[in-house]
Chains A and B, each alone.
Chain A
């Protein structure tokens, strides 16, 4: 009986989902647009900061390199809820950055997503550089390449990995809910994204609408993964 009810909900969700998409539902479009904008910007920012940092760390030999790499790697497994809590504390009224009045804004959502994606971009770049043959790096040294030149050629060596890193970062932030709901507050037309929209629809018992959002989220995640598979056929070492 329960199984039949679940199937009804899923069937109804499909119908509703297609209805919403075909009908260009403003609520759905706004939530999806906001999700894509904030997640893309946070992915882009994490990529722009994390990849060069990873390239420099990977090729440098400094005193606390192992400690830094361990911190970055630990950051990749950072619980999003903890990130949300820290950002909420920092940007809350009594927080260090309370004066900026950013809590429950898109900027706060962007910052929390950036903190989640940044270690991933940096850590995966370091790992990808580790796959580049040591002698290739030594060859660059022997040509007299400086830090920036070496970073450029290393980035070129791991270009396929960089695409995967961008996609992985995007995948992690678009599916994030704990931190986003904590610092964004799930405000309609302001900070409501696909994941938090699902939560709010379930709360009010709109399972079909929630599943509709879930299908869109899954479709986006699948599209990202499929793009990775298409872009990186027969991935070779160091790339």
Chain B
């Protein structure tokens, strides 16, 4: 049974609002009981607006939005009492009320007129589960960002929601807190069979928490499906770039045999083509778009010789020069130019970067497996 059902939804911000002119259009979207969906896309794609509409916090839409089978009204925010009482929403900025942590956690229950003894039982239980008993009576404005997020999460989970809306909930957290809270959320939502609708532009968050993905761009859902399938097989350039496949090339199939297509690509200056091997079944002459992720490049120092390395099973082997190297969260991001306007990006660990003696202006060889070269037929 679907707990969120959208049909022919459209929404435009009023002329006097900051985002006037933006239009959200969702012909169809649903979320089944106990399942999870990530709304994924760049900032301004309409993810949070869609989430707010589903959570009965944004009015003025056209079309049909059903929450737990109840048609959401276009009246004032939070007017859909019965449906709203079965969901909860976790915001990006962890807003806390100007009182102690314990009081903060119990506010939702107080508003829903839960008996006092039941409030105490549920709050005590949640404080224990989220391991925040040490700050239970601390001033909520004095606790750290990670603790504040836990308190917000506790405040929602005590309500025993059937559906949890998450609006970029880990945005302001450091890596350790993000990982811990993400896992706590995953565990607690699985325990209570809570459905999740997550707004994010972080691939790891989406993969960790959700089984389905809706990729959004400019107010529309451009892809919907199983999360792994969406991330592994983008169907358009926009989708590919949004899903982190930074390298997109266009080319023509020259040979295709044994489910491996040889594709000749040129950049805009068309000076020196590069030939890629992609695991795909095309006909000679087909025009295709290729997409490669920086994680799929394997880099080694250049030691002379050319062509494919015999020591590697990767069908694509190129030579190039490192034009820049920058630190990122888990290592280094290299920009490698092969000439002819082709620039590749590769993520490698700092340890590999140092042990291989890599650096700017160093010549390198890099390998890409044919199965890592994702492609689709151009219209």
Known A-B contacts A144-B85, A145-B78; the reply to A133 vs B57 at CB < 8 A is: no
**In the complex, B359 has a CB within 8 A of chain A:** no
Contact B107 A143 (CB under 8 A): yes
Known A-B contacts A135-B92, A149-B111, A236-B141; the reply to A142 vs B57 at CB < 8 A is: yes
Contact among B78, B92, B159 with A141 in the assembled complex (CB-CB below 8 Å): B78
Return chain A residues, CB-CB under 8 Å to B84: 142-144
Return chain A residues, CB-CB under 8 Å to B111: 140, 143-145, 149, 153
In A223-239, the 8 Å CB interface with B consists of: 236, 238-239
Known A-B contacts A143-B107, A143-B108; the reply to A135 vs B95 at CB < 8 A is: yes
Contact A239 B98 (CB under 8 A): yes
In A136-166, the 8 Å CB interface with B consists of: 136, 138-145, 149, 153, 156-157, 159
Contact B112 A139 (CB under 8 A): no
**In the complex, B207 has a CB within 8 A of chain A:** no
Contact among B78, B88, B96, B97 with A153 in the assembled complex (CB-CB below 8 Å): B97
Return chain A residues, CB-CB under 8 Å to B283: none
Contact among A138, A159, A239 with B89 in the assembled complex (CB-CB below 8 Å): A138
Known A-B contacts A135-B92, A135-B93; the reply to A142 vs B98 at CB < 8 A is: no
- B87 to A, closest residue via Cβ: A142
Distance of A66 from chain B, by nearest CB (Å):
9
Known A-B contacts A156-B99, A157-B98, A159-B98; the reply to A142 vs B55 at CB < 8 A is: yes
**In the complex, B340 has a CB within 8 A of chain A:** no
Return chain A residues, CB-CB under 8 Å to B129: none
Known A-B contacts A153-B97, A156-B98, A157-B98; the reply to A138 vs B91 at CB < 8 A is: yes
Return chain A residues, CB-CB under 8 Å to B87: 142
Distance of B169 from chain A, by nearest CB (Å):
11
Q: Bound state CA distance, A131 and B359, in angstroms?
A: 50
Contact B77 A138 (CB under 8 A): yes
**In the complex, B76 has a CB within 8 A of chain A:** yes
Distance of A62 from chain B, by nearest CB (Å):
10
Contact B76 A138 (CB under 8 A): no
In B143-202, the 8 Å CB interface with A consists of: 159
Contact A144 B81 (CB under 8 A): yes
Contact A135 B91 (CB under 8 A): yes
Return chain A residues, CB-CB under 8 Å to B52: 138
Among A135, A138, A143, A239, chain B packs the most CB atoms within 10 A around the CB of A143
Contact A142 B76 (CB under 8 A): no
Q: Bound state CA distance, A149 and B111, in angstroms?
A: 7
Return chain A residues, CB-CB under 8 Å to B141: 236
Return chain B residues, CB-CB under 8 Å to A61: 76
Distance of A216 from chain B, by nearest CB (Å):
36
Return chain B residues, CB-CB under 8 Å to A141: 56-57, 77-78
How many chain B residues sit at the interface, stated as a range, is: 20 to 34
Among B78, B84, B107, B108, chain A packs the most CB atoms within 10 A around the CB of B78
Return chain A residues, CB-CB under 8 Å to B76: 61
Q: Bound state CA distance, A156 and B98, in angstroms?
A: 8
Return chain B residues, CB-CB under 8 Å to A133: 93, 95
Contact B91 A139 (CB under 8 A): yes
Distance of A157 from chain B, by nearest CB (Å):
5
Q: Bound state CA distance, A106 and B92, in angstroms?
A: 54
Q: Bound state CA distance, A138 and B78, in angstroms?
A: 9
- B93 to A, closest residue via Cβ: A135
Distance of B276 from chain A, by nearest CB (Å):
47
Contact among B56, B88, B92, B97 with A136 in the assembled complex (CB-CB below 8 Å): B97
Return chain B residues, CB-CB under 8 Å to A145: 78, 111
Contact among B56, B81, B85, B89 with A139 in the assembled complex (CB-CB below 8 Å): B89
Contact A153 B107 (CB under 8 A): yes
Return chain B residues, CB-CB under 8 Å to A238: 98
Q: Bound state CA distance, A136 and B148, in angstroms?
A: 13
Return chain A residues, CB-CB under 8 Å to B81: 144
Contact among A136, A143, A149 with B95 in the assembled complex (CB-CB below 8 Å): A136
- A66 to B, closest residue via Cβ: B16
Among A141, A153, A156, A159, chain B packs the most CB atoms within 10 A around the CB of A141
Known A-B contacts A144-B81, A144-B84, A145-B78; the reply to A139 vs B95 at CB < 8 A is: yes
Return chain B residues, CB-CB under 8 Å to A135: 91-93, 95
Contact B97 A142 (CB under 8 A): no
Distance of A232 from chain B, by nearest CB (Å):
13
- B55 to A, closest residue via Cβ: A142
Q: Bound state CA distance, A149 and B108, in angstroms?
A: 11
Distance of B99 from chain A, by nearest CB (Å):
7
In B38-65, the 8 Å CB interface with A consists of: 52, 55-57
Given contacts A139-B91, A140-B111, 10 further A-B contacts (CB under 8 A): A61-B76, A135-B92, A135-B95, A136-B96, A138-B91, A141-B57, A142-B88, A143-B108, A143-B112, A144-B81
A-B contact pairs, 17 of them (CB 8 A): A61-B76, A135-B91, A135-B93, A135-B95, A136-B97, A138-B52, A138-B57, A140-B78, A142-B55, A142-B87, A143-B84, A143-B111, A144-B85, A153-B111, A156-B99, A157-B98, A239-B98
